[in-house]
Amino acid sequence: MLANVNATRMELLRLRKRVVLASRGHRLLSEKRDEISRQLIGIARQIQPLRQKVEKELLQTCRRFMLARASVEPEHIKAALEVPTKKFSLAIEFGRVMNVRVPHLLKEIEGEIICYGYATTSGELDVALLALECAFDDLIQLAEKEKQAHLLATELQMTRRRVNVLEHVVIPELQETIKFIFDKLAEAERDNTSRLMKITDIIRA
């Protein structure tokens, strides 16, 4: 590779500019990597307790539904839940964290989750549905945080790879090429000086 390099002052200046640019890019990418890591750690700290909370809520909700099913005839439960009155829609907005697009989930809910009369149902079904409603809010929040963490982790991996390539490949190769050209130019300068001295000696003789 070095044998094909043009050992000229113009090439030396061009490579020195590239080193400055690569060093600046390395610094900026390092700062981006550190900030993404900080943001990712913050989100991860929110995810763990939130996931435990959701798992606990869903487990309790399942138990409530099992109790409701045990205390009411199956056809009554089916009839009670056949025509829901609660409407739910989900919208996604995107924000940016270190130039990474991360989603924010926005829910719109209308109506009541209890959509039946009380004559043929038990209180356990009421409690189960209300518990499901609470768990659903936390579930949406968990989905949002986990997607944000996934996107940031992917960007962090790419940024780390770029930093490593600049630090261990691009900048060292440029510096090695600069040293090669500098040595070649210095050698040529010494040869020219030596020739001039010989010519001077011949002229004086």
User: Domains plus CATH for the chain?
Assistant: 2-30+37-195 (1.10.287.3240)
pLDDT of residue 85 exceeding 90 = no
At residue 123, the pLDDT reads 72
Which band of pLDDT confidence, cut at 50, 70 and 90, is reported for residue 176? very high
* pLDDT tens-digit series, residues 103-149: 888 887 776 767 666 656 667 777 777 888 888 888 999 999 999 99
Indicate the burial class of 173 (C-beta count within 10 angstroms; 0-12, 13-18, 19 or more): middle
